[in-house]
Structure 1
Amino acid sequence: MKRKVLAGVLAIVLACGMVSGCGKNSDVDKANSGGDSGEKVTVKFFNGNVEMVDWYNEAVDRFNQQSDTIKVEHEFQKEGTAALQTKIAADDIPDITTMSTQQMIDAGKFLDLSDSEWWDRIDPSIKELSKDTKSGKNYYIPSNTMITAAIYNQKIFDELKLTPANTLDEFTDNLRAVKKARPDMDPLYFSGKEAWTIGMLFGCIPEAVERQKIGDLEYGKAALEGDLSVLKYSEKDGALEKYMDWLGTLQEEGLINDNVLTATYDDAMNAIAKGEAAVIFQGLFALGGIIDINPEAVNDLRVSAMPAVSADVKPAINQSPDSTYYIMADSPNQEAAKEFLTWLFSVENQVSYTETRNAPSAFEDVSADLGPIVESAVEVSKSAASLGPAKEPAGFGGDASGVMLQEFFAGQYTPEEFAAAYEKAWKTAFDAQ
């Protein structure tokens, strides 16, 4: 009888031990998931934007102080995408990152954000620019945009009763008027020694014709597929040939700086800042340097679109998505990552970010004080054709095409010869990929 009682007691003790053990395992699971234990979920934020490191550090500190469930760890490495590739290879993936490569996108490394509610606040044209050309999906959220356009001296334009041009012909007339009234001023200034500064214009002026006619996404797909019948570089009397003929006219008439082949980026910044040039083509990232040279330039300079090759398309700007945020597809903390980004994208935070970044916000409900030059660019973007980054073969970016343009200014090509040589060089680079 005693043995039966003892066996019963042991059974109860063992059962209680099993229940207790299960309870302990459950508590461990809760602790690992940031459950009832109070332990926060850690979200790793890997940033490649050097200019905004201090802002992110301060923002992350504020978020961590007010969040009871999430702790964000901000990491910056100047190696950018190379460092991200190393992390992925080592299975040390972040939850959020600001950078990517097309290879990473193709490999499915990022979460598809096409249906995210964040897009409800973002300019639809920016969502279109942010689509992956191959899949048509959106793998990142851009909080801002960076604009490349014409920066011109409005004071001179007002004195001469000129208005920003819509077409190449109108643009030429403006330059002629400047040259006549101000013979000591360069109407248009090219920093031709640094090839990228002139090579980047192909995507915004001659290519803008077909990019508008068939759509930027379809044009980008044709470029990725190497379909030259769509790109039409060597078309007789096509957009590229007309653009080159226009550049030749500007050079012949002295409407661009005569040191076009030796002028540097800094030379162009000095010329526009000091009132020695009426117009330059450049990105708004140049404004900080211009204003450092001459703080009064903020009162004189404004932004307009780049002129259209033909009147049947709009003048264009390059409006590239800026400050982009990706969520890793293999992140175990996707919901926590989304919660942090929702906080980061709040109007208050984005006003601060936008004014620090000096780049227009992609969020339509964010109104920031960016100064009159950037504000003029934002206004222009409402009516101009907004084109994203041009799709180019590896090895044929702005530098390579800019070198060809240097050769044109040196007299090595006619416009027709240049168009044919450009297409050949583009195809060679495409085939070599």
Structure 2
Amino acid sequence: MKKSVFAIAAACMVTVGALAGCGGQGKDTAAEVPQTESVKAEASKEQQETPAKEAGSKEKVVVTALIQQSRNFEGLQKMIQKLEEEENIKIDAQIVPDDESLNMIKMKLNSGECPDIIDYNVPAVYDIIDPASNFADMTGEAWTDRLIIPENVTAKDGKIYGFPFLSVPGLHGFIYNKEVFDKAGVEVPATWDELLAACEKIKESGTTPIFMPKDTWVPQILMTDNFAKILGADGCKDFADKILKNETKWNDVPEFAEVLDKYLELYQKGYVNSNFASATYDDAIAAVADGTAAMHFNGDFFATSVLEANPEAQIGMFPISMKEGADVITENMSSAGFVAYKNSENLDVVKKIFDLWSTPEYANLYFADRPAFPAFQGVDGGKVPDYLAEINENYIKEGKAIPEFNYYVMTLNPLFESSLYVYYVDAPAKGTMDGKAVMEKFQKDYEQYMKDQGAEGF
């Protein structure tokens, strides 16, 4: 199997050398990387000792930004604060719910009154919004030379429009509270049937087995993960090629409906929180952090959020497949990042911001409390948590990582967000659709969407 971007980034990361010795030895602690604690202290010291007169000698500039709620991390806030203190550049950020951000971005672009900086997934945004027409070309900017994997943010025209934070955007799996598992006498499941059995025992112990929120971007992660595992990488490529040419239908693939039926079974058996139709993403973080729920399926970034909410929580992560024998993990191929509005009056300032943010002085702040794999050389991504170290050993190094299903059909993301993802929440809430009905309904939406887009063959 082709080496994943995770493996490439791991080889480049300063701290990843400690992975081989990250057994944890009975403790759910991160791998020991001595320099990281000093980086935290150094980052704090830098903030405290920066002369205020530097900013005072520069004319104040206000730059506008649109940032998704789930990505307004403490590290990013520190970077924004440092920028204002040292460069007198203030970022006036509008924080929006994740599932509303795409529509808001499109609306602002169409109005011609767009923020200078836009937060979205890179390079996924290239397939949703034409980058050459809407985003500033960053090719040749100094910071692009420091990218560990420049291909991650290179568009089809060979140009770079996006500024990423991560070289390894994310891995999917169940993030779970180890103390809840221990209390219920449950071991980490290796198969879907074992997962159901574990959920039953956890439910009997008086704890919610799986927490799901109403946010439509969340439940879809389980589907994009398992669609990929059931079809395999080659199967995903083949289906994507055919569906975009109208040579097959969404409801022609019985495996899609089967995945949905297994997802719906979790609700039918009472394994999901009863308030899933009103609960929020923040509620999911809190529930796993305090142990009122055992687990939640998402990207590995969710685990970091849980540990921010409760640093004492004992957290683990495991991939799972609905298909027997599909022992792989899926990768999210798009990084959290920014693009710059092409017609911004502050474009030179935005370019300066990106250049500063690519340096260790700023980027280390991003990772000080959220360890991950940075996009830029020389940046310390922090301690690698045990759960990522284990995944690296058991999956990444073994070549058992594949892209998520959505990666192959990224051009359809606007339709997914307005239609299919909504059905994933509606189906268990209303109880009127099984997997087959969902895919039949989505096929009708798909045909109309492609006709509206003027797609060839529709």
**Cα separation, 2, equivalents of 1:398 and 1:43:** 36
Per the alignment, residue 107 of structure 1 pairs with 133
Per the alignment, residue 279 of structure 1 pairs with 295
CA change 1:329–1:409 in 2 (3 A) is: closer
What is the aligned length?
Answer: 367
Comparing 39-48 with 139-148, greater Cα deviation is found at: 39-48
Per the alignment, residue 205 of structure 1 pairs with 226
Alignment match of 2:161 (pick from 132, 136, 139): 139
Structure 2: stretches of 5+ with no match in the other structure: 1-56, 96-103, 454-458
CA apart distance, 1:188: 4.0
Per the alignment, residue 304 of structure 1 pairs with 318
CA apart distance, 1:172: 2.9
**Cα separation, 2, equivalents of 1:135 and 1:122:** 18
CA apart distance, 1:111: 1.1
Alignment match of 1:384 (pick from 385, 401, 408): 401
| 1:148-227 matched pairs, under 5 angstroms | 149-155=173-179, 162-163=187-188, 165=190, 170-180=191-201, 183-185=204-206, 188-191=209-212, 193-207=214-228, 212-213=233-234, 226-227=244-245
Please tell me whether the aligned partners of residues 148 and 283 of structure 1 are also in contact (alpha carbons under 8 angstroms).
Answer: yes
Q: 1:327-360: per-residue Cα shift (whole Å, max 9, x none)?
A: 85898986x9766644431223211222256665
CA apart distance, 1:424: 2.3
Alignment match of 1:237 (pick from 251, 254, 266): 254
Counterpart residue type for residue 259 of structure 1: S
Q: 1:217-273: per-residue Cα shift (whole Å, max 9, x none)?
A: x987877xx44547x5223433x1220232244455x37237275462355444423
Secondary structure of 2:364's aligned partner = helix
Secondary structure of 1:367's aligned partner = coil
Please tell me whether the aligned partners of residues 250 and 440 of structure 2 are also in contact (alpha carbons under 8 angstroms).
Answer: yes
Q: Could you say which structure has the greater relative contact order, defined with CA pairs below 8 angstroms and 6 or more residues apart?
A: 2
Please tell me whether the aligned partners of residues 315 and 384 of structure 1 are also in contact (alpha carbons under 8 angstroms).
Answer: yes
**Cα separation, 2, equivalents of 1:112 and 1:215:** 31
Counterpart residue type for residue 350 of structure 1: A
Matched, 1:48 2:69: no
CA apart distance, 1:301: 1.1
**Cα separation, 2, equivalents of 1:93 and 1:406:** 33
Q: 1:403-431: per-residue Cα shift (whole Å, max 9, x none)?
A: 35532565423433333223223333444
Alignment match of 1:127 (pick from 143, 151, 159): 151
Per the alignment, residue 379 of structure 2 pairs with 366
CA change 1:183–1:327 in 2 (3 A) is: same
**Cα separation, 1, equivalents of 2:264 and 2:115:** 51
- Give TM-score scaled by structure 2 length: 0.60
**Cα separation, 2, equivalents of 1:185 and 1:362:** 42
Per the alignment, residue 259 of structure 1 pairs with 274
Structure 1: stretches of 5+ with no match in the other structure: 1-38, 65-71
CA change 1:328–1:288 in 2 (3 A) is: same
**Cα separation, 2, equivalents of 1:360 and 1:179:** 36
Alignment match of 2:363 (pick from 350, 374, 378): 350
Please tell me whether the aligned partners of residues 147 and 377 of structure 1 are also in contact (alpha carbons under 8 angstroms).
Answer: no
CA apart distance, 1:279: 2.0
- Give TM-score scaled by structure 1 length: 0.63
CA apart distance, 1:180: 3.7
Q: Among the aligned pairs, what percent are the same residue?
A: 16
